[in-house]
């Protein structure tokens, strides 16, 4: 009997271990390996382990193809075209300020994520690190993805919005042209081609340190999140030496299909039969309220912009049960169960809310507040599971930027690069974990670090914490 008992116990133990290993993630893990839990000095930001991906069983997604590992590409079911069964992730930390820990395996659920890049190595979007080892990337208006650029990521996500693997990454600027007016009151804003651009403490600047360094007539390229008609919340602003092909993004209003025109804020867009349409729309499906990018060859004349190309802006799925993560500014707020973000109807009445006052975070939520939301589509409404408050007008909000990777182009502790991002870790307040400032100059090839900061000044990430990762 004892032998039989030991034999049965051995089989049971082996079965449990096999189950645990199968749930723990297989191939597709980040090249950085496990990061463990590394806390930042001032913000309490945790950097979780890489989002190792486990494969699922055979699955069919939408109307697209079927993959034997559950990674089939979904077809469009909402008329927006593209790969609508896609992936994103929310934030795995309790306070909504850290990078999701991952390490539990990414499910085969498809989802879509839209927001701005909060970190590199692979890509950190809305607080979650996406493994990009096998992702395809499409970039416009830049040669490399950088912090603050708007992005759409498609891939795989776990059910708790904590671990993700990217399959597709696309990014393009939202606005390009000369500044016609500047308002430094409040959080600050400026106008380009009739679009009012607001900035906040999370706006990344390149070629300047802040709005105080620019003037009317300066040419800028802006990545940002469309909010109310005619307005854009800037996530990255780059100064350009001269005007290149102009670009505007916004919500279609006053659509006149007979006259082939519509307005974006104060700008009248004129299109014709030679205008190229893409991004899941054409001249027949262009609709009032749609968010579009408009490109032209010359700057607007007397407020009229002749479009050479009209693109649908970051299409997202609308079919039931599609997982979706959005970062944007609240508009049309009528209560927790009725507002919009990036034009998407939102019901957050049962959401876990973080980032605001602990006693009643809803007191600080309303129009103009920047948030991140994670949830699932139901009858055309995004039913939110998690909501993180990122910026309250007049108050601000938490800012965390992260880069993970090996050191490159080392000049000094105040001048080196990680994943193409310039870093300054020479400040007296920089905290070093598992190493010292002297170790920056002597890291073995391929050894990685994680840099966390809350500001990018003239294109340089100011490090608060530098963590030396295990080899």
Per-residue pLDDT reduced to its tens digit, 374-400: 999 999 999 999 999 999 988 888 899
pLDDT at 70: 32
Q: Which two tokens stand for residue 104?
A: 């539990």
Mean pLDDT of the chain: 80
Average pLDDT of span 275-279: 97
For 35, what's the count of Cα atoms within 13 Å in the CB-facing half-sphere?
34
Per-residue pLDDT reduced to its tens digit, 355-376: 888 778 888 999 999 999 999 9
Do the Cβ atoms of 252 and 241 come closer than 8 Å? no
Domain(s) labelled CATH 2.40.50.320 in the chain stretch across 175-244, 246-312
**Nearest one of 42, 128, 119 to 93, comparing CA atoms:** 128
Return the CATH architecture of domain 401-468.
Answer: Beta Barrel (2.40)
pLDDT at 141: 96
Q: Report the predicted TM-score, pTM, of the whole model to 2 decimal places.
A: 0.77
At residue 113, the 3 state secondary structure works out as strand
Q: Which two tokens stand for residue 79?
A: 């008329």
pLDDT at 331: 96
pLDDT interval class at 4 (50, 70, 90):
very low
pLDDT interval class at 25 (50, 70, 90):
very low
pLDDT at 111: 80
| CA atoms of 440 and 468, how far apart (whole Å) | 9
The CATH number given to 175-244 is 2.40.50.320
Q: Where are the beta strands (DSSP E) in 199-266?
A: 204-206, 219-226, 231-240, 247-251, 253-256, 261-264
Distances (CA, A) of 51 to 236, 279, 334: 26, 29, 37
pLDDT at 41: 34
Average pLDDT of span 2-19: 40
Do the strands 421-424 and 415-418 form a parallel or antiparallel pair, or are they unpaired? antiparallel
Average pLDDT of span 99-110: 48
246-312: CATH topology is: OB fold (Dihydrolipoamide Acetyltransferase, E2P) (2.40.50)
pLDDT of residue 62 exceeding 80, the answer is: no
pLDDT at 2: 41
């Amino acid at each position: 009997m004892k032998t039989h008992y030991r034999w049965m116990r051995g089989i049971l133990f082996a079965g449990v271990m096999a189950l645990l290993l199968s749930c723990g993630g297989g191939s597709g893990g980040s090249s950085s390996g496990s990061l463990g839990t590394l806390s930042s000095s001032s913000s309490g930001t945790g950097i979780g382990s890489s989002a190792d991906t486990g494969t699922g069983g055979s699955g069919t997604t939408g109307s697209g193809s079927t993959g034997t590992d559950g990674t089939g590409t979904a077809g469009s079911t909402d008329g927006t075209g593209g790969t609508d069964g896609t992936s994103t992730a929310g934030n795995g930390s309790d306070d909504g300020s850290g990078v999701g820990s991952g390490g539990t395996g990414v499910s085969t659920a498809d989802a879509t994520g839209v927001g701005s890049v909060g970190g590199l190595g692979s890509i950190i979007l809305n607080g979650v690190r996406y493994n990009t080892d096998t992702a395809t990337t499409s970039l416009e208006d830049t040669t490399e993805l950088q912090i603050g650029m708007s992005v759409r990521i498609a891939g795989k996500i776990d059910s708790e919005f904590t671990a993700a693997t990217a399959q597709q990454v696309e990014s393009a600027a939202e606005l390009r042209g000369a500044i016609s007016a500047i308002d430094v009151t409040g959080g600050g804003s400026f106008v380009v081609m009739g679009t009012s651009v607001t900035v906040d403490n999370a706006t990344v600047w390149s070629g300047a340190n802040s709005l105080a360094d620019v003037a009317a007539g300066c040419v800028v390229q802006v990545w940002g999140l469309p909010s109310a008609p005619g307005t854009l919340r800037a996530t990255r602003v780059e100064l350009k030496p001269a005007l290149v092909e102009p670009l505007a993004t916004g919500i279609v209003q006053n659509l006149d299909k007979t006259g082939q025109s519509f307005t974006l804020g104060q700008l009248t867009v004129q299109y014709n039969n030679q205008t190229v349409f893409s991004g899941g729309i054409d001249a027949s499906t262009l609709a009032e309220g749609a968010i579009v990018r408009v490109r032209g060859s010359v700057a607007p004349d007397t407020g009229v912009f002749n479009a050479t190309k009209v693109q649908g802006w970051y299409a997202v799925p609308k079919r039931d049960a599609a997982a979706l993560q959005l970062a944007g500014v609240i508009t049309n707020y009528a209560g927790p169960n009725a507002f919009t973000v990036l034009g998407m109807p939102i019901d957050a009445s049962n959401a876990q809310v973080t980032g605001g006052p602990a006693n009643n975070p809803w007191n600080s939520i309303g129009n103009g507040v920047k948030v991140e939301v994670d949830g699932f589509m139901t009858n055309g409404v995004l039913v939110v599971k998690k909501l993180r408050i990122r910026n309250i007008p007049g108050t601000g909000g938490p800012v965390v930027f992260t880069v993970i990777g090996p050191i490159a182009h080392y000049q000094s502790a105040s001048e080196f690069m990680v994943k193409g991002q310039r870093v300054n870790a020479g400040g007296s307040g920089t905290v070093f974990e598992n190493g010292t400032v002297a170790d920056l100059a002597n890291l073995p090839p391929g050894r990685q670090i994680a840099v966390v900061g809350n500001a990018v000044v003239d294109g340089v990430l100011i490090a608060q914490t530098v963590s030396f990762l295990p080899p």
